Amino acid sequence: MGKAAREASRERLRQERQKAEERAKRTKVLAVVGAALAVVIVVVGGGYLVLSQQRAEEQEFANRYGSLPEQRVQQDGSVVLAEDGADAPVVEVYADYQCPHCKQFELTSGPTLQRLAAEGEVIVHYRPVSIFAQQPAPIGANSLRGAAAARAAADYGKFVQYNDLLFEHQPAEGAEGYSTEQLKEWGTEAGIDDPAFAERVDAESEVVDTFTGGYLDDLTAAAEKELGADRIQEMGLSGLIDWGQENGVDGSFLEGTYVREAIDSTSAVEERYPSGANAFGGTPAVYVNGTLLGNEAYSGNGIQEAVEQAGPGEVDTEPLSADGAAADASPQPDASP
Amino acid sequence: MDTTHQPAPPASAPAPAPGRWAAVQPWVTLLARLALAGVLGYAAYTKLPPALSVQSVEAYQLFSPELAQLIGYTLPLFEFALALLLLIGLATRYVGAVTGLLMVVFIAGIVSAWARGLAIDCGCFGTGGQVAPGETQYGLDIARDLGFLALAGITMLWPRSPLSLDRLFGLYR
């Protein structure tokens, strides 16, 4: 009896142990399958959210400019965004592509200005400048490359889109940015498919390299030797380049370039608003019918109010005619936006 | 002790074949696992951005635009998730089964496109869409997917493999 009973109980124990093992294994399998399922859900669900958000943003970007009125390049390289024959206040926007506050302005108030322009409530006059042109590398070069590329985009009627893309990707101050590769890519993103745009970006970037890689130092050194600091200040960079041309610092590589245009625009605004309450003192500078806006420029509401309170204004530049652009060999935009 | 997969205990059986298989099998499974992970990961990567993937799905003309959109977005992600699981060796048997099932679905899709006389690229890797009627390669695509199906079958039937999380959790030792 004893032996049989022992054997039976051993058998029972063995069976129970086996059952427990099986149960443990089943639990493990369930846990592992559950973990795998969680991985799938996280990857597919999370990835789907990210992808569809990206898509929504792209869609929004594509649609955002659908209702934009025509963009007309002016003789000085600035761009006027307005409904045909709009009788509305003129908002001048002076911005440097390397200036962080300009980015802030563009993010907060840019869309409002675009909307008001589409509604015929405002004439937006975009006047890019390069107040940082003489800053040490890479700030000066970034600023000039950005301005020149934006001007090239304006030739294709895509200035507003490109302007937004530049500010969206503004390099941190002191960081190398606005590379030719990026500048070309954003052109495509803005809807410019003419290879001449990429060529222009390359050419202008080479001009910037020449400008920052020696020329500016030579010019400054020559000027400091022969002119006083006050006189240099007074001449502005444009005047200084002209002076250098007559005094042995060859700046002919700048002739007819968009880099030169950006530099000239900068000197021009300093002359346009030299002193008083409306003096141009840096970027961004936003003028409504010639009156400088303060901090209210940094909100969509603020700028809308300023525009609503102003009467109709006059744009002080003339549009660039099709043959006027011929010297730059840049074709007029062939497609409507 | 996983008795189901080792019917012949090596110690008592003089027959060398099962023993050798038992020794080689984990490495065969590891290879199959990693190869599938590579294939799926690459397939997922080349399908992006999702707009291209959606195009590939639409080319099959089997789904409504909304459904094609959803599949186009989630399929590369699902493939990527499977690749990840195969790589880390989590729930190997079940992931292998699901991968095999996916291959069956792919093959069915290609067969259906072939049968309906569509001239499309299968969109298995990279961009799909329409191709010139002479440039279809359905036979090749199906043969390739059958190969992947075989790999998935190996991981499903013999999930035991080194370098896997399953092993860490005490499964398929």
CATH of the domain at A278: 3.40.30.10
Output the six-digit token pair for B51.
């707009």
Contacts of A35 in chain B (CB under 8 A): 90-91
Are A104 and A188 contained in the same domain? yes
Domain boundaries, chain B: 40-168
pLDDT of residue A136: 86
Average pLDDT of adjacent 10-residue blocks, chain B of 173 residues: 44 57 92 97 88 85 90 94 96 96 96 91 80 85 96 95 89 76
pLDDT of residue A61: 65
A23 at B interface, C-beta within 8 A:
no
Q: Is B24 exposed, middle or buried (0-12, 13-18, 19+ CB in 10 A)?
A: exposed
Say if residue A197 is in the same domain as residue A254: yes
Do A32 and A121 fall within a single domain? no
When scoring B45, B73, B88, B155 by the number of chain A Cβ atoms within 10 A, the one with the most, hence best to mutate, is: B73
Q: pLDDT by residue (tens digit) across A47-102?
A: 999 988 888 877 776 677 888 899 999 999 999 999 988 899 999 999 999 998 89
Residue A128 is encoded by which pair of tokens? 């890019």
Residues A25 and A101 in one domain: no
- What ipTM does this complex have? 0.83
* Whether residues A60 and A148 fall in one domain: no
In a domain, A334, yes or no: no
Gap between the Cα atoms of B73 and A225, Å rounded? 65
pLDDT of residue A52: 87
Q: Do A40 and B169 touch (CB under 8 A)?
A: no
Of A61-75, A163-177, A305-319, the poorest mean pLDDT is in: A61-75
A18, A91: one domain: no
Single residue among A64, A83, A115 that ends a domain in this structure: A64
A60 shares its domain with A84: no
DSSP bridge pairs for A92: A125, A287
Lowest mean pLDDT among A281-285, A315-319, B132-136: B132-136
Report residue B166 CA to chain centroid gap.
19
- Least Cα distance to A114 among A63, A156, A148 occurs for A63
In a domain, A146, yes or no: yes
Q: Is A99 helix (H, G, I), strand (E, B) or coil?
A: coil
The residue among A13, A39, A64 that closes a domain is A64
> How many other C-beta atoms can be found within 10 angstroms of the C-beta atom of residue B49?
12
A232-242 residue pLDDT tens: 888 889 999 99
pLDDT given at position B16: 52
To the nearest whole number, what is the mean pLDDT of chain A? Answer: 88
For testing the chain A interface, which of B4, B85, B87 should be mutated: the one with the most A CBs within 10 Å?
B85
- Based on the domain organization, do A57 and A10 belong to the same domain? yes
Domain contains A134: yes
Domain span at A148: 71-328
Q: Give B74's contacts in chain A (Cβ within 8 Å).
A: 44, 48
Chain A: nearest CA to B91, how far in angstroms? 5
Asked whether residue A333 is assigned to any structural domain, the reply reads: no
Pick from A64, A83, A111: which residue ends a domain? A64
Residue A337: inside a domain, yes or no? no
My answer on whether A98 and A175 are in the same domain is: yes
- Work out how many domains chain A is built from and give that number: 2
The answer to whether B116 and B71 have CB atoms below 8 angstroms apart is no
Q: Which residues of A299-332 are buried (b: 16+ CB within 10 A; e: fewer)?
A: eeebbbebbeebeebebebeebeeeeeeebebee
Express each pLDDT in A119-167 by its tens digit. Answer: 999 999 999 999 999 888 899 999 999 999 999 999 999 999 999 999 9
